[in-house]
Amino acid sequence: MELREALPTDFEQIWPIFHEVVSAGDTYAYAPEISRDEARKIWMDAPRKTYVCEENGKILGTYYLKTNQAGPGSHVCNCGYMVTGSARGRGLASAMCEHSQNVAQELGYEAMQFNFVASSNEGAVRLWQKLGFEVVGRLPGAFNHPDQGYVDALVMYKWLQP
């Protein structure tokens, strides 16, 4: 498994992962019917960096890293991670999160924040906590889960500097 910076041509393999995750409507606050062009802007064009997790030429996961807020908040970054369903449970999200923290520090960020983690996404919440993120905020009923209805959205945060 290799983690590397994404190339523009990688979007051909990223799009099916993005579409699979977002169309489920249970983890990301993107419209489930988002267009391919809009997805490209969100995942490839807007972030400061985008990476892929590749194995034998096949992209199994991807993440982006961007500045969370401008000006006085620009020392904090934000990331989003996606793994194709067929590769879940293999530690890719953990590897990508650890990798992103190293990249963030190399880019001069001092902290990482996840702005809107669905509380129903228990696996992600558990993993982020295992990797040192704390729940610093709870937005009651802010995420409309397709099966569970309104669930809380969590703000999770980690200071990256010793």
Convert the pLDDT of each residue in 97-127 to its tens digit.
999 999 999 999 999 999 999 999 999 999 9
- Is the model's pLDDT at 160 over the cut of 80? yes
Q: Give the residue carrying structure tokens 């793994």.
A: 83
Q: What is the pLDDT of residues 24-66, one digit of tens each?
A: 999 999 999 999 999 999 999 999 999 999 999 999 999 999 9
Q: How much of the chain exceeds pLDDT 70, in percent?
A: 100
How is residue 52 annotated by DSSP?
Answer: E
pLDDT at 100: 98
The pLDDT-based confidence of 162 (bands split at 50, 70, 90) is confident
Mean pLDDT of the chain: 97
Q: Are strands 76-83 and 111-118 parallel, antiparallel or unpaired?
A: parallel
pLDDT of residue 94: 96
Residue 161 in this model has a pLDDT that exceeds 90:
no
How do 76-83 and 58-67 pair as beta strands?
Answer: antiparallel
**Helix (H) or strand (E) segment spanning residue 159:** strand 149-159
Full set of structural domains in the chain with CATH: 2-115 (3.40.630.30)
The pLDDT of 129-134, averaged and rounded, is: 98
pLDDT of residue 77: 98
Per-residue confidence band for 9, with pLDDT thresholds at 50, 70 and 90: very high
Instruction: Report phi then psi at 23, rounded to 5.
Output: -65, -25
Q: Are 30 and 42 in contact (CB under 8 A)?
A: yes
**HSE, side-chain direction, 13 A CA sphere, residue 90:** 14
Structure tokens at 127: 């993993």
Share of the chain above pLDDT 90, in %: 98
Q: What is the pLDDT of residue 67?
A: 98
Given its phi and psi angles, is residue 155 left (phi above 0), alpha (psi -120 to 50 degrees) or beta?
Answer: beta
